[in-house]
Amino acid sequence: MNILVRYRPQGSTAKEISASVEAGVRGGQLKPGDRLPPVRELADQLGVSPTTVAAAYGDLRRRGITAGAGRGGTRIRGAPPVSSRVYLSAPAGTRDLITGGPDPALLPALPPRPAMRPPRLYAEAPVASRLRQLAAGQLAADGIDATSLMVTGGALDGIERVLATWLAPSDRVIVEDPGHAVTFDLVAAMGYTVVPVPVDGLGIRPAELAIALARGAEAMIVTPRAQAATGAAWDADRAADIGAVLRRYPGAGVIEDDHAGPVAGVPVFSVCGGRERWAAIRSVSKSLGPDLRLAVLAGDEATVARVAGRQALGTGWVSYQLQELVADLWADPAAARTLHTAAQVYAERGQALRSALRERGITASGRSGFTCWVPVTDEDGVASSLASSGWAVAPGQRFRIAAPPGVRISFATLDVADAVSFASDLSRALRHRPSRLD
């Protein structure tokens, strides 16, 4: 974590101090991880009361710009919602094992110029009929009730809309730890309290989930397969155990983020059946391409109706042209074969990587999706050492809250033939543990 030396907030009121910090973040003078001065120190510098500074810091936390408080200090979040950059990128000259996206070579080919359908007008349904039919068939095959269905602009858009229908400010939301960094940021930016629950190779841990629910969490966001940080996936027994815990808390809202869908490499199990408040979200970003900003959202009737009603007052609907393009791909046998092949290739690449690491005594998580997690003691040092060897991996701090340190490896583009080379370089990085580079 960096100590703040480049930028001092200004202002004589809480609103002015908060705006000054936000301006520093927007302008780049304040970076993710920078620590703000202690409340009393800044109050003395600005000639205001500690109460004024504390109010400014509270506003920044509520808006997701900062995290932490008390002895640990207040620091700038990894992706504060005043900037468009929320994803890590690989440094120039390195192999990209950092971004977590699909391999472009394994995406179905899009038509060079999709046929334009008749224009969709204002009074029509928000979900195109053909997409609804295809989506309902896919979800039903996985045991998910698709009676109530909506389309959103991607998984995070769906998560945001669902949470907004369920929760009040400061409500507690369970997230997986380690997990999806942007989900952490989204929950914080919406003014909710993030409650981290540990995961293992089979996903969120039921015992710790039960503790978090007993302490009053109102909602949870879980990943049934292709977990964003670890590659964890539920099996039937884990889903049953999670379901048993949830039955003791019938009012808690459950969001299942099935972001990888058909390329996750393992079947999906759901715990939403029979719940009062639930949403199962299936994005096409990992399977069909990140630029296809579309996700199908199934849920209880009240939740879906509220999502549809709020969407109607804003964007209105997701473009019918985009919905029809996704329907074309879902109905295309050639695209289906491409998705089947992609799932196999990702599984082979993950297995090759984990096997190569295991041969060197390195434990790596994961059994689905594109990512795995390796525990380390010096995240930045290991990442720096690998970068010097030509590999870009993500220090785990961006993806964890209370979980122990690690690095996240995104192997979607790592050919099987390169797994041994990478594993050898990681083994050297772990032995040498170079010092952190700030």
In tens, the pLDDT along 73-123 reads 888 887 787 766 656 778 888 999 998 899 999 999 988 776 677 778 888
CA 208 – CA 198 distance, rounded (Å): 7
Q: Which domain holds residue 218?
A: 116-331
pLDDT(70) > 80? no
Summarize pLDDT for 379-431 with one digit per residue, the tens. 999 999 999 999 999 999 999 999 999 999 999 999 999 999 999 999 999 98
Last residue of a domain, one of 331, 358, 385: 331
Residue 8 inside a domain? The answer is no
CATH number of the domain to which 192 belongs? 3.40.640.10
Compute the mean pLDDT over every residue in the chain, rounded to the nearest whole number.
92
What's residue 378's pLDDT? Answer: 95
SS (H, E, C) 2-47: CECCCCCCCCCCHHHHHHHHHHHHHHCCCCCCCECCCHHHHHHHHC
Residue 100 inside a domain? The answer is yes
Summarize pLDDT for 129-178 with one digit per residue, the tens. 999 999 999 999 999 999 999 999 999 999 999 999 999 988 999 999 99
What's residue 122's pLDDT? Answer: 85
pTM score of the predicted model: 0.86
Summarize pLDDT for 176-194 with one digit per residue, the tens. 999 999 999 899 889 899 9
Looking at the structure, tell me whether residues 284 and 366 fall in a common domain.
no
Task: Classify residue 68 as exposed, middle or buried by CB count within 10 Å of its CB (0-12, 13-18, 19+).
Answer: middle
Last residue of a domain, one of 283, 310, 331: 331
Residue 154 inside a domain? The answer is yes
Residue 198 inside a domain? The answer is yes
Looking at the structure, tell me whether residues 306 and 360 fall in a common domain.
no
Looking at the structure, tell me whether residues 326 and 340 fall in a common domain.
no
Looking at the structure, tell me whether residues 136 and 207 fall in a common domain.
yes
pLDDT tier at 71, thresholds 50, 70, 90:
low
Last residue of a domain, one of 290, 308, 331: 331
Residue 156 inside a domain? The answer is yes
- The residue written with tokens 């910090």 in the block is 21
Radius of gyration for the chain, computed over Cα atoms and rounded to the nearest angstrom: 22
Residue 170 inside a domain? The answer is yes
Percent of the chain whose pLDDT exceeds 90:
80
Looking at the structure, tell me whether residues 323 and 344 fall in a common domain.
no
Looking at the structure, tell me whether residues 346 and 305 fall in a common domain.
no
CATH number of the domain to which 398 belongs? 3.90.1150.10
Query: Which alpha helices (H) appear in 95-154, and where do they start and end?
Result: 129-141
- The residue written with tokens 């809202």 in the block is 253
Looking at the structure, tell me whether residues 236 and 198 fall in a common domain.
yes
Looking at the structure, tell me whether residues 314 and 389 fall in a common domain.
no
What's residue 438's pLDDT? Answer: 44
Cβ–Cβ under 8 Å, residues 225 and 234: yes
Residue 128 inside a domain? The answer is yes
CA distances from 38 to 5, 69, 105, 317, 362 (A): 13, 9, 49, 45, 40
Residue 230 inside a domain? The answer is yes
Looking at the structure, tell me whether residues 126 and 270 fall in a common domain.
yes
What's residue 69's pLDDT? Answer: 67
Output the six-digit token pair for 349: 């690449």
What value does the mean pLDDT take over residues 327-348?
97
CATH number of the domain to which 63 belongs? 1.10.10.10
Looking at the structure, tell me whether residues 322 and 260 fall in a common domain.
yes
Summarize pLDDT for 157-167 with one digit per residue, the tens. 999 999 999 99
What's residue 42's pLDDT? Answer: 93
Looking at the structure, tell me whether residues 44 and 171 fall in a common domain.
no
Higher pLDDT, 67 or 216: 216
Question: Strands of 371-375's sheet, edge to edge?
Answer: 371-375, 406-410, 394-395
Looking at the structure, tell me whether residues 39 and 182 fall in a common domain.
no
pLDDT(434) > 50? no
Domain count, the chain: 3
pLDDT(62) > 90? no
